[in-house]
Amino acid sequence: MRAPTSDLPVSFESASLRVGDVNVVRELSLTLAGRTPTVLLGPNGSGKSTLLRLAMGLAAPTSGRITWGGRGAPGERLAMMFQRPVMLRRSAAANVAYALLARNDARVAELLTQVGLADLADRPARKLSGGEQQRLALARALARAPEILFLDEPTASLDPAATKSVEDIVRAVAASGVKIVMATHDIGQARRLAGDVVFLARGRLVDSAPAHRFFASPATPEAAAFLRGDLVI
């Protein structure tokens, strides 16, 4: 079921989110457009997850505004994969089926194959390993046939092999025309996947540039320090 309208571009117009006394995101202006993967890079607490939650419509900015394809509300074709996805108490296949609008066993099998979990379809989702759960969460997000897929630190707690399998899937999804917006604090992962980089620190957008330019010649001292491996807080 493809909606006729597009949620792209997602535009932040000096959007801020205050929680209590803390500015989690400050006066952020940013446009997410095109089909190249955008990587949100920055240290923990820089506002990456909050930016994703705002873009997904899970939180509303306390000031400023966000538009999706020029409209004030997010549409149906957005999907998000969380850092620690919730596994529903049912089989892997049922977790994927849950996200489909209508029962479609063939589509479930296809999605499970896409993430390499076809053999584990009947296994309880909560009994899967960490990497398998992340891949199942990816399949579930893809079941919504998203135009934009938000990923919040999808491999934060995974070993290199599991990380690679998740990255391979993300790369294939990006190649199929889905706009990827992924948060990570892993510079290596950003180098491997990014088309564009949005660099955040302390809730502010510090730099936004094509990946090759960002990594070759970071325009700000914070970004340069972060890329050198200095501790940026």
For another protein, which residue of 56, 96, 148, 173 counts as binding (CB under 8 A)?
56
Give the shortest CB-217-to-another protein separation in angstroms.
Answer: 36
Query: Under 8 Å CB-to-CB from 142, ≥6 apart: which residues?
Result: 79, 111, 114, 115, 149, 173
Phi-psi region of 145 (alpha: psi -120 to 50; beta: other; left: phi over 0): left
Q: Which is nearer to another protein, 125 or 198 (CB)?
A: 125
Q: Which residues of 8-18 are buried (b: 16+ CB within 10 A; e: fewer)?
A: bbbbbeebbbe
Coil, strand or helix at 184: strand
For another protein, which residue of 13, 27, 76, 110 counts as binding (CB under 8 A)?
76
- 127 contacts another protein (rule: CB under 8 A): yes
Give the pair of three-digit tokens for residue 136. Answer: 């199942």
For another protein, which residue of 12, 82, 199, 214 counts as binding (CB under 8 A)?
82
Distance (Å, rounded) from C-alpha 80 to C-alpha 86?
12
- 228 contacts another protein (rule: CB under 8 A): no
Of 70, 30, 69, the C-alpha closest to 50 is 30
Binding mask 136-175 for another protein (x = CB under 8 A): ----x---x-------------------------------
- 85 contacts another protein (rule: CB under 8 A): yes
Q: Which is nearer to another protein, 173 or 232 (CB)?
A: 173
For 122, counting Cβ atoms within 10 Å of its Cβ (0-12 exposed, 13-18 middle, 19+ buried), the class is: exposed
Q: Which is nearer to another protein, 182 or 201 (CB)?
A: 182
- 199 contacts another protein (rule: CB under 8 A): no
Give the pair of three-digit tokens for residue 40. Answer: 């949100």
β-pairing, 63-68 with 179-184? unpaired
For another protein, which residue of 48, 53, 135, 185 counts as binding (CB under 8 A)?
53
Q: 49 near 181, Cβ under 8 Å? A: no
Is the peptide bond preceding residue 4 cis, with omega within 30 degrees of 0?
no
Coil, strand or helix at 231: coil
Binding segment (CB under 8 A) for another protein, from list 23-31, 124-132, 174-182, 190-198: 124-132
- 98 contacts another protein (rule: CB under 8 A): yes
For another protein, which residue of 39, 79, 174, 206 counts as binding (CB under 8 A)?
79
Binding segment (CB under 8 A) for another protein, from list 27-35, 84-92, 110-118, 189-197: 84-92
Give the shortest CB-86-to-another protein separation in angstroms.
Answer: 4
Residues near another protein (CB under 8 A) are 53, 56, 58, 76, 78-80, 82, 85-91, 98-99, 124-127, 140, 144
